[in-house]
Each structure stands twice: as structure tokens, then as C-alpha cells.
Structure 1
Amino acid sequence: MTSPTALFVIPPEIIQHILAFCHPLDVSAFSRTCRAGYNVVYSLNDQYLWRELIIHHFDDPRKSLRYTTSSIPFRYDWKMELQRRIMSSSIVLNARGISDDQLRFALETFISIIDDASPIPRIQAEPSNGLHWLAYLLHQSRLLYRQPPQELKQLVARLSVYFLFSDVDEDEEYAIISPGQRTESRCFAYDLRNYNMDNNWGPYLRDGSVNWLHVQHLMAVVWSNLADLPERWKNVRPPVGLEATRAFSAPDIASQRDWAGVEGTWRRCVCFMDYRDLFSFNFSNVFRGPRNKAYFTENARFREATRLLEVKLKVVARDKLKFSNMDEDLAVCNSLYPPLYFHGVSRGVDGNGALIEGMVKMGNDGAVRYKFNEKVSIHDGTTQWSSEGVQVGSVASAAGVVGAWTTSIHDQGDPVGPFWLWKVSDDFPADAVVDYI
């Protein structure tokens, strides 16, 4: 039998190369066998072992968009980052009681893993090791199904938006929105107080950053309504799960100029209440109102409409926009992701089209935002609808854009509702549109 002393006759660089193929916890156990083992793992003055462990078990962060598009030289503490991930795993899997500081540490670590996921290459895409690890961990820990403290709700909601419908084909339990959650999300999504000038009539906070709680509720309403569609439409759903959040995972990303993958064919699911119901929910005392959840749980006459639309978009110059004012302060825009302007058409089951004009930009918080208007001719006049949405995940993600629509006039009491916009291939069946109540 080879003695420990004989093992360490091997150059430490070779031992590190062998350890790089082991699980990080096994490497930690090896370092505790003896002083020589500890020195091999922790005392060499380079980050080779830590770098290789991350690359083998997660994704190479040097390939992620936040580094490949950054003007700042790449600096990454491989050892610290690996230790963060293993420690976060231990926190959510093993701790009976997690402190708020520990939970924040773990949530921020998990979101950084999503940010570090490699973009989908144009040829032979491979699953992300890091996202696979994270999906398994979130399933096992059920972290996102616990009630978080108030100050961490935005972080939990953001991670939930990325993960909530993961593995819907493998585990139907996780694909279902519970009746209680659906009611809670309807109450939030159709509460007119949640749409005003302070949040630009969209899922944003006062400081302009994304309100992930709002996005989560909008998403839950749309997904629940899509699940109610007849069997024929069961496959007309947006891609979901952590893999769908990866950069360039949407189909038909053809142009570097179109960094957001705007051009092409999309599907859009729009949900809405009858305006009389919307007004009654917000302002009347029926069902112990206003804005009481009983309006949805005890009202046998309540109906919510779901409209599935085909959308075709094309990137254009800003001066080609005809009816939309998409003013943007270019001085505060991201130079690597300049605003893109687009126009196109939206078509429903009746075949009538609405004109669309809008803009996509990168927010200061790293979230991609869509803003667009629709113009629909009605007899001798026109009505315009305005939409604000957030990309779920990274640039040009398959998961698409979730947001809220309302009128472009923004009068008090105007109707509102959630939408979900996702890209499909250009040969997607054109008849995959529907009106459903």
C-alpha cells in the first residue's frame, strides 16, 4: 500500500491537477488528512486548483457576459468564490435555523452563479454546469418556499422568477401555481395602486430598479392562465427554468447589431379582467372589498381573459418611429448596450393587426427593459396601449419578457394587466393564437 509520505513525493502541481477532478468537499477532506495535504491545497501561491474546480463543476466566468463585455480588466478570486458557493450550499441544506445574514449571503451567491452562466453558443449548446448544480440545490433545500424576512423579499423574488418553473416536464408539482398563490398574485397584479408615475407604470421600484416581487406576481398570473388553456394550446408556453435565463438562449439571434435579439417572431400572452370587474375589485365594497382576495375566491361570476398573440418585430432607427415618444438620455445609457428601437405588428385570433413601436435598453442594475406602444384603429379613432417589461435572465434569454400593460394616457383608473412576451422560431405555427375566457 502506498504510504501518505510516498504520495507527496509526487510534485504538488500534479497532485493539484488530480484534485481538480474531485468534488470540492473531497478536496477539503483531503486537506485535513495531514499537514502536507493541507499545504498542497492551501499553501501554493497560485489559484490553479480553485480555478480548475470552478471550471469543472460550474461555468467559466471568463465567458460570461458580465466579463466579456466589461471594460474593466478581469479580476476574480477563484478561491473565495468557490468557498462562497460551498458555504452557501451548506447553509441552505444543513442549517436548521438560517440567520438573515446567512440567507442574504446565500441568495447573493446563487444569483452570481446565474450571472456567471456561459451564454448559449450558436452551435451545439451544452447545459450549464453551474445552473444544473443550483437547480438541484434549490429543489433539495426548498429555500424558495419559505417565508423570507421583509428586507430579503426582493432577492428571494428575483431568484424565484428565474427558478420557479424549473423542470416542469420532470416534476409537475413544481409547475403548478397553488390556488392561494394565484389569488395573491391576482390581487397584486390587478391592484391599480401598483401602477403610477413613480414606477413608470411598470414592475419597477422608485429608484428605477426592478421590482422582482411585482415581476413574480405578473409571471404567476400569466402562467396560471396559460395552464388553463385547452389541450391544443398546452405547448404554447414560454421556456422556463434556469437554462432559459442564459444569454442568447432565445431562437434566431442573427445579428450582433441586434444585441437584444429583438428581430424576429414572438408570442405574447396578455391577460385582463373585464373593466367592470377591475373597477369593482379596486373601488367597491363587494366581497368585503375593496381589493379583498374574496373577490377572486368567492365570486362565481369572475372571469379572466387570456389572449395569445403573434408579434413580429424589426430593429429600426429611432427616427423611424411614427407614433411613440421614446426619448432616452443617451448620456446615462450603457455604451456596450446602446438603446435599440423597433417596430412591428401584433396579430390576434381575429387576424386584425396592431402596430407596435418600442425600445429595449440595458438598465443600470443589469436588467434588460422593454418599453413599447400599440396602436389599434377603432373606427375613426385610435387607442394606444403602453407596456413595460423586464427580461427574465440575461440578454436575449429564451424566458422572454414579463411586464404590465396599460393605456398610454395613464389616466387614473385606466385598465392594467400582465403580459409575457417570448421569442419563437420564424417557422412557429402562425395559427398558435387564441382568445380564451
Structure 2
Amino acid sequence: MAPSAGHITDLPAEVLHNVFAWLDPASVLTSARVSHLFRDLIVGNGTLWRDVYLLKMDTPAPVAGIEWEQETLDLVRLDTIFHSMITQDVDLSQLEFVAKTCIRILSRASHINSLENLYSGSSSANVAYLQSLFGDGITGMAFLQQSGLFEHIRSGKTWYRRGVNTPGEIRRKRQLSAKLHTLYGQPILNYGRTRSCKTHPYAVSRVYDIRGFTEDNRWGPWNSDGTVDWEKVEAINIVLGKNVKGRWPGGKIFDEVWDCPFGGAYRGAFVPKNEPDDDELDDLDKRDPYGVSGSWYRIVCFLDYSDFFHFNFTTRNVLDSVAMPPLHAGEATRLIIMEIKVVRIEPPGPDDHPSWPVVHYEGESRSLDDIFDDNANSDLRGTVRMTKGLDVRWTSVSVFDGQERWASEGVQVAGPKSARGVLGTWFDRDHDPHGPAGPTAFWKARDQEDPRRALREGVRIVRGDPSWVGHLLGDDEDEGEEVGVEGMMVFEDDIEEDLGSMEEGEMDGLLEDQEREVTDLAGRPGNGPPSS
């Protein structure tokens, strides 16, 4: 008679460990409830939970101090929240846990070429996990829409009392939601069950409100205590993302920043294709922890100054506790390339993180799409430093004929060397209380990438696709002259013919003509102050 098969509980502990290590986290948690033996093998076994976590997620660096069991159980809870709410109302009481856990997952993302990451099909298993989690489009979107901007929309009021005395817990949750939305990257431009409400006018109102530019916040996206004002950064991202989609639909260099959920939103995500050896770097670049030297794309948006002035100074006695109404006004957008180089490195100051240096850089900025703008090209200098809250702060000053003219403040989203780049504000160097001021962003170009050629490849005309018209006309598409698809196809043919025959240096003029023609169609102003 053949011997009876042994029971799984008869297996050695080492074998059971290997079995459990190949299960998904939820199954491991369930197994701990099967028997006392399994429970003793699983609960409190940090080595096992580490193996289970790393099968699914990136290998974080450094790994010291991580509570592997708690981190894995948080993944189970996160999955449960998202999957159980697909058919139920979203439980917004979970916002703080969801936001903090997702932010922590991104902070531990990496692209280490480990076995664990090879299964994800992404350069980061953590990013791939979050993309899948938020892919249902219902639960995830709800957690991204809890900032003050979305509360203003939901209120249905033109003049919205935002409340300077809002309880700290509510402010904290608003900031967490805004930060998560910013890390998500792809701005939510249409809101509501029917997606009929545009977020852009509300974001424009917040970004260009001159009351938001003060000495306390350094005229940038900061709070008075030096922490990041993520609600301001969220609004900046919406404004820039909408304008980029409107002017350069389908442009690869922009889609990588504004159209890839969580893409590059982690420390060290930017890695050159051909990373130089240490002996090829000068001493300053070796010591620079921020990856400053190189080519950077930059976007600058601004209102026609008459619109800016009318919005900010014709309405009197608006309380600080009241948000300005949504602003439906056209903006000009400029694309700039910055070539910068580290020139010196200094110890941190009293307001900086003590473990990170202050890096000074110099260089130049050149407009890629407006060769006739006197403000388009300038010398550039600035600093990069780490705040006490471990946020990377960028400052820059544009110099014309030896005179400082425009300045900017920004935060590098997701930390040093992230591929998401910097979001912030530009303003008058002397902090003129009458402005102008507006949003800006810059992100590093890939090594050996010709920025002008990348821009040309980004200007794709989708032949016969009516959505292309919608991208260009944006929120005001029903306010200007109606344009038929047939008429737009003629316009496309003209552009394609020009693209096929133009010389190397003609792209700037073509882009300017394209912007002017679309501006005429939409009835938008096209003039504005600075572009660097």
C-alpha cells in the first residue's frame, strides 16, 4: 500500500518560508489565519515579509529601518480600499492613509535592475503598481480631488470663502490631496460625473492672484514656515498642463511630464542614457547631489498684462479669506531651453537642511519659439538647496545686459534628480506688488537630445481628428468663431507642407505663426511680458 501523502504542515520551516515568499501579500495574510503553525511562521517574521514585499515592489535604498511587515500590510489595505470602492461610494475618511502611503511608495521607488523589477514591465515596480491602482479611474480620482480648488468648484459659488481659519486637519488633508495629484502628474482638466466642469479657470485664478505672492512665501509655492504649498503647486500644474496640451498636443517631450501618471515622480528617476564615468566629470559635478548641469526644457506662461491688472486690481476690498472667481482669460506660453552649469558649492545655511549643500549655477536661457521677443534670451544664475523639510528648492534670476530682471522660485517634484522636474512661479526681481507674475516649470532634457529637433517631432498634426481643434481651443472653444473640421484640415495641410519643405532654422517662425493663427480663431490675446 502506497504511503499517504504528507501534510503541508509537515514541511520544514525553510520550505514553508519559500512557499509563502512567492504568494501575494493578501494570500500571506490569509495563510496566517489557517493554523497556529502558519501564524507563528508569518507574524513578526521580518525576513519573510521583506521577501513578500520585494517580490511585488522595488528594492528601496537604503533599506535600513523599514518595517517590512507593516509596509506589506499597508499594501493589502490599500488594495482593499481601491478594489472595494469600485462598486461603492468612496470612503474619503481614508484620504490621509491613501495619500501618505502612496507618497511613501513613491519615495521608495527605484529603477534598480533587480529580478523583482523585471516582472513589472516598468522601470519602477512601485510606479507600475500605483498606475495599476489608480487605473480604475473612480476611486483614485476621488482622492485626487479633495484640495481647496476642487472644493471651490463643488461649492458652485463664484466668490468662494476659502477660510483662513480652517482647522489644521482639513488644511492638512487638502495639502495631501494636492500633493498626490501633483505627483500623479496628469492634471485633472475636466471634473464632475459628466466631466463638464473645467478646472483650468479655477487654477488660473489661484496662480495669477497677486495676493498669493508675498515676502512670507518668497513669492513662490511655499508656506510661511518654508514647507511646500502643494495646493499652489497643484494649480500651477493644471495651468501648465492644460496650456501644453493646447499648444503641443501629442508632443513626446511634454507627454513624459504631463501625460504619464506617476512617471518619473521619484528621487533619482532621471538617469542619463549614457551616464559619464567619474573621471569624465569635473569636481563640482561629482559633488553636486542635485544633477544641475545640463540642458533643461522650460515652460513660462503669462497673461496679457491688461488681463492681469484687471483681474487683480479692479475689484476692491476682497477679503483674504475669499478666493478670487474663476478666470476665463487666454494665456501666452513660451518654450525655453536652459543651458546651465554648476559654478560653486557651499555649505548649507541656517534655513537649509544640514546634510545637503547649496549649489550655485550659471548659464543662459534661449527661447525656442519666439525669436522676436526681447525677453526671450538672457543670462541665468541661481541656486539649488534642500529645505529642512527635505524639499528641493530652486531659485533663478534672469539677467539682461547685466541687470537682473525676472526671478523664479520652484520646488523639484518628488525630490532631487526626479524626472518630473521643477514647478514654480516667476515674478519681477524687485517683487513689484503690481506684477506681473505667473507659473513656470522646467525639466531636464535627455543626454544627446537636440531640444529643437525634439520640439519639431512633438508638433504632430492629427489629420482629420476634430479633437486636435479642441486641444488648441481649450476651454473657450464655444466662445470664439466656430471652426469646422474641413477648414482645420486645410490649415493642417498648410502646416504639413511647410514642415516638409522648411529649412533647419524655420521652425521658430512656423510655431509663432501657428500660435497667432490659433489665437485669432479662439479670440485670445497673445501678448505678455517675460519669457525667461
TM-score, structure 1 as length reference: 0.82
The residue that corresponds to 1:354 in the other structure is: 378
- 5 Å-filtered alignment, 1:123-134, equals 127-134=123-130
SS of the equivalent of 2:256 reads: coil
Q: Does 1:259 align with 2:251?
A: no
Deviation of residue 110 (structure 1)? 1.4
In structure 2, what is the Cα distance between the partners aligned to 1:251 and 1:114?
A: 16
* Cα distance in 1 for residues equivalent to 2:437 and 2:69: 48
Question: CA 1:200/1:331 → structure 2, altered by over 3 Å: closer, same or farther?
Answer: closer
How far apart are 1:196 and its partner, in Å? 0.5
**TM-fit CA distance, 1:93:** 3.5
Which residue type is aligned with residue 106 of structure 2? Answer: I
Which residue, 361, 385, 405 being the options, matches 1:342? 361
8 Å contact 1:374–1:384 — kept in the other structure?
yes
User: 1:55 Cα shift?
Assistant: 0.9
- Aligned residues: CA RMSD: 3.3
The whole-number CA distance in structure 1 between the counterparts of 2:3 and 2:211 is 72
Judged with a 3 Å threshold, the aligned counterparts in structure 2 of structure 1 residues 272 and 332 are, in CA distance, closer, same or farther, namely: closer
| Structure 1 residue 401, shift from structure 2 partner | 0.5
SS of 1:270 mapped into structure 2: strand
TM-fit CA distance, 1:353: 2.5
Deviation at 1:36, TM superposition (A): 2.7
* C-alpha separation in 2, matches of 1:4 and 1:335: 63
Deviation at 1:294, TM superposition (A): 5.6
Quick one: distance in 2 between partners of 1:40 and 1:115? 30
Summarize the alignment of residues 262-301 of structure 1 with structure 2, pairs less than 5 Å apart. 262-285=292-315, 293=325, 295-296=327-328
How far residue 429 of structure 1 moved from its aligned partner, in angstroms, is 3.0
Tell me if structure 2 keeps the 8 A contact 1:238–1:422: no
Letter in 1 for 2:293: E
For the pair 1:404 / 2:422, whether they are aligned, the reply is no
**Matching residue within 98, 101, 112 for 1:106:** 98
Q: Distance in 1 between matches of 2:403 and 2:144?
A: 45
Instruction: Give the superposition deviation at 1:120.
Output: 6.1
Counterpart in 1 of 2:163? none
Q: Which moved more, 1:124-133 or 1:342-351?
A: 124-133
- Find the partner of 1:200 among 218, 228, 234: 218
The aligned residue for residue 324 of structure 1 is none
Deviations 1:136-178 (A, max 9, x none): 2123322434436544010111111011429x9xxx99xxx97
Taking the aligned partners of 1:182 and 1:46, their CA distance within structure 2 comes to 49
Cα distance in 1 for residues equivalent to 2:125 and 2:446: 26
Aligned to 2:470: none
Residue 7 of structure 2 aligns to a residue whose secondary structure is: helix
Letter paired with 2:396: F
Indicate whether 1:227 and 2:245 are aligned.
Answer: yes
Aligned to 2:521: none
Distance 2:98 2:183 in 1: 15
Q: Which moved further from structure 2: 343-352 or 76-85?
A: 343-352
Pick the aligned partner of 1:367 from 384, 391, 399: 391
Distance 1:208 1:294 in 2: 28
**1:36 matched residue in structure 2:** 37
Q: Which residue of 417, 421, 424 corresponds with 2:442?
A: 421
Match among 259, 268, 275 for residue 248 of structure 1: 268
Distance in 1 (alpha carbons) for counterparts of 2:184 and 2:3? 47
Q: CA deviation at 1:191?
A: 0.4
CA distance in 1, matches of 2:11, 2:237: 55
Shift of the 154–340 alpha-carbon distance from structure 1 to 2, 3 Å rule, reads same
Q: Deviations over 1:309-368 (max 9, x none)?
A: 11100000269xxxxxxxx86245334421111000001131863010000011111211
Residue type of the partner of 1:162? L
Please list every run of 5 or more consecutive structure 1 residues that lacks an aligned counterpart in the other structure.
68-73, 297-301, 320-327
Following superposition, the deviation at residue 105 of structure 1 comes to: 2.0
**1:415 deviation in Å?**
0.7
Change (3 A) 1:134 1:3: farther
Q: Name 1:82's counterpart in structure 2.
A: 72
Contact 2:413/2:423 (<8 A) preserved: yes
Is 1:310 matched with 2:337? yes
The share of aligned pairs that are identical, in percent, is 26
Q: What amino acid is aligned across from residue 393 of structure 2 in structure 1?
A: R
CA apart distance, 1:102: 3.3
How far apart, in 1, do the equivalents of 2:4 and 2:408 lie?
69
Would you say the 8 A contact 1:376–1:382 is kept in 2? Answer: yes
Q: 1:394 is matched with which residue?
A: 415
Maintained 8 Å contact 1:127/1:243: no
Q: Superposition pairs for residues 12-161 of structure 1, below 5 Å?
A: 12-42=13-43, 46-61=45-60, 63-64=61-62, 74-94=64-84, 96=88, 102-118=94-110, 127-140=123-136, 141-142=139-140, 143-147=142-146, 149-161=170-182
Task: Describe the shift of the 1:178–1:385 C-alpha distance in structure 2 as closer, same or farther (beyond 3 A).
Answer: farther
For residues 31-57 of structure 1, the C-alpha deviation after alignment (integer angstroms, 9 at most, x for no partner) is: 223333323322xx6411101011111
1:7 to partner: Cα distance: 1.0
* Matched pairs, number: 399
